[in-house]
Amino acid sequence: MSRTVITATEHLSLLHAMLAHYGLSPECLEIVPDVQAWCVANGVDEQSPWRAAKCFYSPSSCHIVMRDEQTDSMISSAKGAMLYRGFADELESLDSDRKYLVHLMLHEIACFTLQTSEQERRDAWAFQQMHCHAA
C-alpha cells in the first residue's frame, strides 16, 4: 500500500488563494476521500479509481472535486502521463509535494479558464502559471 504523500486539506489556504487568483470562490473546490466514489454518488461516469481530481465546468461555473490523499503511486502515475504527453523538462520543476499539488490544482483550474478538458493544453497552461504560486 502506498503511503500518503500529500493531504489536500492541509493546504486549503494555498488552494483557496489559487482559486481567488483566477477569480474563483473557495466553494468551487470540494475535497473528498475518493473522486470515483463521489462521481458514482453524483451520477457521473468515472473509470479511474485513482483519479486525483476532476473539474466540472461551463462558461459560468467551475466545480473541482479533489481527492484529499494523494499517494506516491497516484503522483507517479500522473507524472508518467505528463512525461508521455511531452513534458519531460517541465516535470523537473515538480520537485516537491507542494509544487505537485500546485500543478494539480492549476491543471483543474485550466478546465474552466481555458474551457477545455484537453490534457496537453491544461498541462502546458499549468506549467506556465506555476511561477505565480510555487515557492
Question: How many domains does the chain contain in total?
Answer: 1
Per-residue cell: 133: 504560486
Q: Could you tell me if residue 134 is inside a domain?
A: no
Averaged pLDDT for residues 47-62: 95
Instruction: Say if residues 8 and 67 touch (Cβ distance below 8 Å).
Output: yes
pLDDT value at residue 85: 93
Range of the structural domain that residue 42 is part of = 4-129
What is the Cα–Cα distance from 33 to 68, expressed in whole angstroms? 6
Confidence grade of residue 135 (pLDDT, cut at 50, 70, 90): low
- What are the Cα distances from residue 15, in Å, to 55, 77, 81? 14, 22, 23
The separation between the first and the last C-alpha atoms of the chain, rounded to the nearest angstrom, is: 30
Between 96 and 114, the more confident residue is 114
What's the whole-model pTM score? 0.94
Q: What is the percent of the chain where pLDDT is above 70?
A: 96
Please write the tens of the pLDDT for every residue from 97-128.
Answer: 899 999 999 999 999 999 999 999 999 999 99
Q: Does residue 88 form part of some domain? A: yes
23 falls within a domain: yes
Pairing between β-strand 53-58 and β-strand 61-67 as defined by DSSP bridges: antiparallel
* Domain assignment present for 26: yes
